[in-house]
A and B are shown apart, each in its own frame.
Chain A
Amino acid sequence: MKKKFSFSKGYRGRTIFSIFNFIFLAIIMIAMLIPIWKVCVDSVSREVSSTDISLWPQVFTLEAYEIIFSKKALFNPFWVSIYTTAIGTFLGLLISTIGAYILIQRDMPGVKIFSWLFMFTMIFNGGLVPTFLVIVGLGLYDTVWAVIFTLGMNVYNLVLMRSFFEQLPVSLFEAAEIDGCSPFGIFIKIVLPLSKPALASIGLFFAVAYWSEYFHYVLYVTDPDKLNFQVKLRELVLTDEPIPEAKDAGLMSETMKNAAIIVNILPFAIIYPFCQKYFVTGVTLGAVKE
């Protein structure tokens, strides 16, 4: 691919550009890395300074991680986070893709109204108490479904999804229609496979939203067995009170907090490279034409 674009005419300019581009991005990368590196370092050092940034731990220790990973009280919340994130992301993508697919049917009677119905909710909302009462009324109070449903319907993501679907070449739809494909068939066989970058990015948005959700859990869930990782992490580690285990181990609470932050980022640092696969390889039309 690289070779394809480096034709002789602008070759030198291109090389200079590449170098500068790389240097520029490298600087940005370092600027972004330093604070994260600081959090990493602080999570493995016995002494954490509140006024300095140390780039290397003075006294190295992994005890903070040991404490977090051995905290039984965090196991179940971690599991809750995993399954709500999985179900939620699936539901979110389902709603967004169906909604978006319908909204691009510009000729479908009522589509404008649907479109406005969505947009209206993005701007107006009923407020905390009424929403709470509806959740209670639906019998969803104290279940994770209250959180899954409220986050799953996300107009922002839906409209983004629609903008991706609009990019798809219409000729494909036509061809499929001529082949006798049903609307649902087109959706499954053409729209979805061609929208992998969109699915990956918006799926990531959903996953992150579900993973880091705090507020809705606190409001709608009381059963401690149904609280997610975020809530418990904040309650057990990211508090202002000294953490008993850290005290026993002679660790500063700051070390624990930093370790908790890293543990929290970890899943997405791991997942992202897998999502990238879909961003980097573009759509190749041939792939869908059997």
Chain B
Amino acid sequence: MASTTKSVRPTEQLGRLQSKNKKRGIGGRIKRYANFYVMFIPVLVILFLFYYLPMYGIKYAFTEFTPFGEPTWIGLDNFTKLFEAQRFWNAFNNTLFLSIINLVLSMVFSVGIALLMNEIGRVFIKKVVQTVIYLPHFLSWVVVAGIFTIILSQETGVVNLILEKMGFDRIDFLTNESWWRSIFFFVNRWKETGWGTIIFIAALSGISPDLYEAAEIDGAGRLKQTWYITIPSLMNTILVVFILNLAKIMNIFESVFVLYNASVYNVADVIQTYTYRVGMQGTFNYGYSTAVGLFKSFVALILVGFSNIMSSKVTGKGIV
């Protein structure tokens, strides 16, 4: 049964077409795709102008550079300074931990909820649910933090009132090192889960109904259909979203910034909040911030590279 319901991976279909073209020589292929190159020029120009032109700035990572004078070459000093600061490593570890867990949770919840919403029969209810859960995304982090600070307040917060009624001690959720991370993950899910489902809902609607019809004829139940058709069809999107987000994980800032405080730096401080506080001292060392940026880029490169290789190994296809 599984063999009949299994979807044909789209890339394999693509492969079939391409293998035909393989027979042509490179010159022939360039000629065949000539129109594509023309179409591509504007995209390439924009990419070049806005992304590659400023890349020369990477060299500032090795300089002391303020907008008020010529950069002076200082070799790896910016990096040494960065790596010597003990709070930086604390921030680095927190960045990886908070972002990766957050990313995994976001994938699980967004895909899960997208699948559950897909099971709602009535289109109207489906629409209402979607609209409501996507709204929190539009509240800014400051507002969200304000709301949760009220809800979780030790003195007047609803959660603590309930805990007390049930005979538990009040908990200082936001200043307690052992609670803060859970709260952080929860608030993140609350705000972004609905928004995260959009891409999967779009992917779900792209699955051909023919596949389900075939499965039905085979007598596959709903669960089996989900397992053998829906999830494999979503797999490509899931992987792409995962790897794309992996490239951004070093940039985690606002969600932490609005929720953290001095008593949880140990578990909450991330690279961006750390460098924000460096900036608070009133210095403008762009060399240093470029160095931090470059370091983050390298970490992202390793993560993306690694997951891309893994993805190619497992599914036969990376995102690049």
In the complex, are the beta carbons of A184 and B35 less than 8 A apart? yes
B237 closest partner in A (C-beta): A163
Q: Mark A2-25, 1 if CB is under 8 A from B, else 0.
A: 101101011000100110011011
Q: How far is the CA of A9 from the CA of B223 in the complex (A)?
A: 13
Query: Do B33 and A108 touch (CB < 8 A)?
Result: yes
Q: Indicate the member of B15, B133, B199 with the most A CB atoms within 10 Å.
A: B199
Structural contact, B202 and A9, CB atoms closer than 8 A: no
The answer to whether residues A279 and B201 also contact, given A121-B51, A127-B286, A272-B134 and a CB cut-off of 8 A, is: yes
Q: Is A265 within 8 A of B119, CB to CB?
A: no
Interchain nearest-CB distance for B258 vs A (Å): 14
Contact B135 A201 (CB under 8 A): no
Please tell me if A95 contacts chain B, counting CB pairs below 8 Å.
Answer: yes
Q: Is there contact, CB below 8 Å, between A156 and B222?
A: no
Report which of A1, A35, A198 forms a contact with B144, defined as CB distance below 8 A: A35
B227 near A: Cβ within 8 Å? Answer: no
Q: How far is the CA of A14 from the CA of B216 in the complex (A)?
A: 15
A174 to B51, CA, bound (A): 35
| Separation of A105 and B204 alpha carbons in the complex (Å) | 24
Q: Secondary structure at chain A's binding surface: helix, strand, loop or mixed?
A: helix
CB-defined contacts of A125 to chain B, threshold 8 Å: 51, 54-55, 293, 297
A239 to chain B, nearest CB (A): 12
For A102, the chain B residues whose CB sits under 8 A away are 36, 39-40, 43
Q: Which residues of A contact B113 (CB under 8 A)?
A: 25, 28
Chain A interface size, under 10 / 10 to 19 / 20 to 34 / 35 or more: 35 or more
Q: Is the CB of A4 within 8 A of B216?
A: yes
Is B209 part of the contact surface with A, judged by Cβ < 8 Å? yes
Q: Which of A271-290 contact B (CB under 8 A)?
A: 272-273, 276, 278-285
The reply to whether B46 and A153 form a contact with Cβ atoms under 8 Å apart is yes
Residues of A within 8 A of B54 (CB): 125-127, 130-131, 133-134
Residues of B within 8 A of A118 (CB): 47
Q: Given A107-B22, A170-B10, do A204 and B198 touch, yes or no (CB 8 Å)?
A: yes
**Structural contact, B47 and A121, CB atoms closer than 8 A:** yes
| A121 pairs with B10, CB closer than 8 A | no
Which residues of A in the span 113-138 have a Cβ within 8 Å of any Cβ on B?
114-119, 121-131, 133-134, 138
Complex contacts, A156 vs chain B, CB 8 Å: 244, 247-248
Interface string of B250-275 (1 = CB under 8 A from A): 00000000000000000000000000
Stretch of A48-56, A65-73, A82-90, A242-250 lying at the B interface: A48-56
Q: Is the interface of B mostly helix, strand, loop or mixed?
A: helix
**B320 contacts the other chain (CB 8 A):** yes
Query: Quick check: B206 and A164 within 8 Å, CB to CB?
Result: yes
Closest 10 CB pairs of A and B: A126-B54, A130-B57, A126-B57, A2-B121, A130-B54, A197-B202, A201-B202, A121-B51, A170-B13, A127-B57
Task: A119-B320, A168-B10, A173-B17 are known; give 13 further A-B pairs, CB within 8 A.
Answer: A1-B121, A53-B158, A98-B42, A104-B14, A105-B33, A125-B297, A131-B57, A160-B199, A171-B13, A184-B35, A201-B201, A265-B139, A279-B205
Query: What is the interface of chain B, defined by CB distance below 8 A to chain A?
Result: 10-11, 13-18, 21-22, 26, 29-30, 33, 35-37, 39-40, 42-44, 46-47, 49-58, 60, 65, 67, 113, 116-117, 119-123, 125-140, 143-144, 147-148, 150-151, 153, 155-156, 158, 190, 194, 198-199, 201-210, 212, 216, 219, 221-222, 233, 236-237, 240-241, 244, 247-248, 286, 289-290, 293-294, 297, 300-301, 304, 319-320
